[in-house]
Structure 1
């Protein structure tokens, strides 16, 4: 019985130290170039409130879209899925694929959840974010994404997929639709392994 108590005490200590280490990582300062300096609040497809810094610790692949788009966004979504398909399956747990809506008034968490399901993007590494017009504009500025509302239901926007390291620093951008993504894949895999 005494041996079991010792094992339980040791196990409890290990769990506590792991939790403390994870908390310390999230509290350590990030560089000035990190997107984790942004303090804006977002809702994900599960209607959970979070901040960009909640993605710290994994490599993030980010694109800005809107769900009612009929032109560029379906191609950007296909490009994101193509990137995902070329990453070794055992590395996917080290990645966040994040799609940020540029139309937060229309793209509610409920609508983002349906969109994720319709596009076979329900695995835990897929994240869809709804902000406010202000937080979306701030985030677009950080990514160098330009967008403009051209009708009540349509936007003109940049077609950029951005890759950030575990500390939220931009390391690569892929511009265009349906472009050769070998360099993007290589950069993601290299960053995950470092």
Structure 2
């Protein structure tokens, strides 16, 4: 009986600590049905880190699909992200993530992604360049409304768009106006989402 009392004396404080921690930690609400994060997707970024894209939940994201060897449209997609970023105040920029997802994971390894990030001077605190697992590419493109087709020469025909996700991964705005010219309606939506 004494042994049992010692066990209770040791275990009870630990259980109470766990219960207190569980009560203190806010439970995350289930994802909305229309969240793109309903689709499981694993991404590997320019730093070689692999993560579930649902880890971006909680921070609004401007998302686009691209590939690093693209010489024409994809650099304009990066320009579009930079233009949105520059249109925001420093405080607004700190609350927004920009996620570029490759449609060419076979070639877009962390080294290729990092090369683009460095060449384009993209702030790693806000910009994530990432490749999905090969079997996730179509699903990610589908939920973002991006159409693409690989050509015989290894290039891609693809939709060029920026997609704004709210904190829960719901699509709230989209623009196909790319380049350094801002889409004022898209920027207004970014500001609106950041204000909530």
The TM-score by the shorter chain falls in which range? 0.7 to 0.9
Distance in 2 separating the partners of 1:131 and 1:103: 9
TM-score by length of 1: 0.85
**In structure 2, what is the Cα distance between the partners aligned to 1:122 and 1:173?**
23
Q: How many residues align?
A: 176
Contact 1:145 1:157 in 2 (8 A): yes
Q: 1:17 deviation in Å? A: 8.1
Gaps of 5+ in 1: 1-15
- SS of the residue corresponding to residue 151 of structure 2 reads strand
Matched residue, 1:82: 83
Choose 1 or 2 for highest CA Rg: 2
Q: CA RMSD in A?
A: 1.9
Q: Provide the residue aligned with 1:36 in structure 2.
A: 37
Q: Structure 2 CA distance, aligned partners of 1:118 and 1:190?
A: 31
Per the TM alignment, residue 151 of structure 1 is displaced from its structure 2 partner at its CA by: 2.8
- TM superposition score normalised by structure 2: 0.84
Question: CA–CA distance in 2 between the matches of 1:18 and 1:95?
Answer: 29
Label 1:20 to 1:104 Cα distance change in 2 as closer, same or farther (>3 A): same
Which consecutive residues of structure 2, in runs of 5 or more, have no partner in the other structure?
Answer: 1-20
In structure 2, the CA distance between the partners of 1:153 and 1:181, relative to structure 1 (3 Å rule), is same
CA distance, structure 2, for counterparts of residue 117 and residue 164 of structure 1: 25
Which one of the candidate residues 12, 16, 25 is aligned to 1:20?
25
